[in-house]
Structure 1
Amino acid sequence: MRKTRLPGLLWMAFIIELRVAATSEEVYHRTEGQTLIVECPFTVWKYPNSRKAWQRLTDGGKVQTLAETEGTSRNTTEIQVGKYLLQDIPIDGMLRVKMTDLRVEDSGLYQCVLYQPPKDPLVLFHPVRLVVTKASFSSPGPGVNTTHGTDVIGVSVTGILTIVVCGILSKSLVFTALLVVTQRTLGR
């Protein structure tokens, strides 16, 4: 009886971990006037010609599509709608979203999606929580060098994905080791 329960519990824990990793938000903090760049990866061989979009999720649960690509080319295409620039890069499996001249009103929850009719759109990346604050113009004390507040250190999506995948793999290795040790301890 114990032999069948333990592997099942380990698999259930692994699946829960995958779901938590897949539904977490990425939070970006910016000040007014800055730019947000988000890279949303997609499977190249499966969705190269699909339409993709940048959407805002309202508090009421409604989805507002802000800009979308045509999805008809295997070449890089760009679409600009106001402050939103979408670059569909099929060869790299990447949708790059750029929001310029951010304002406090831009704060909210966003997502990259891929249209796959007749199914619901597929969310390509973690939902993005954007928090935009007013720029503070307080003067620093004497002897402090100031720079423009628009320089932002970026972290590549590949780096983040590598960390997530390594974390998931390391947890699965721990679960596997626990399974082996438990089975040997129980003499099976």
Structure 2
Amino acid sequence: MTQKNNHRERILDGMRRAVHDKLTPKQRDLPKTTKGKASALLREEMKRSTETDPRKREAAAKKSLAARLGVKVDSVYRYLSGKRKNPPKEIAEKLDKEVRDSAKPGLKKKVIKEARGKSIRIQSRAKFGYGTTARPGVTTTPDSRWRNIAETLPAMYATPLWDALEHGDDHRAQEILQAYLQKEYFNEGGKHGNVEVQLEDLDYMDFTID
């Protein structure tokens, strides 16, 4: 995965976290152990499987789960049996993310439905570069800068972001955010000329649903 694709993914990940955080504490309750998390994900994979034979379906689900986590099938067996309670940090974080993102799909759809058409707040630390190809009326500079950003996206930007989340389109999500920040944050609606910006990297992006 390239760095650019990686920071794009953080945008949709931030939106998924915001949806999860909108649930009640009881609804947000997730498995605490590695075994519990792996078991919850295995049940999800088994529901997706088209295998009719129970043993083949379980084997196929374990293989799919291994690919999903980026580990060997043997590791999945150890997680499920409880023999491996503390996987490497990267895998532990992946387990947390996958369980969180897949939990309570019906409730999360309701949260998203209610959030459509409303503004959404963002907080982020992001690195922006400016246009380097000079054109009439365009301010250019070769320098890139990290900026701490706290903004409220109006519905005209927030609604298509939810569409991008629904379709898993991280490229579209970046385009929407970049368009908003270029017009409203950097150019203040056109007050400061026409500065072109490019989102180059993203430390984090947090969303808050009102």
TM-score of the alignment, normalized to the shorter chain, above 0.5: no
**TM-score, normalised to structure 1's length?**
0.27
Larger helix fraction of residues: 2
**TM-score, normalised to structure 2's length?**
0.25
- Larger RCO of the pair (alpha carbons < 8 Å, separation 6+): 2
Bigger CA radius of gyration: 1
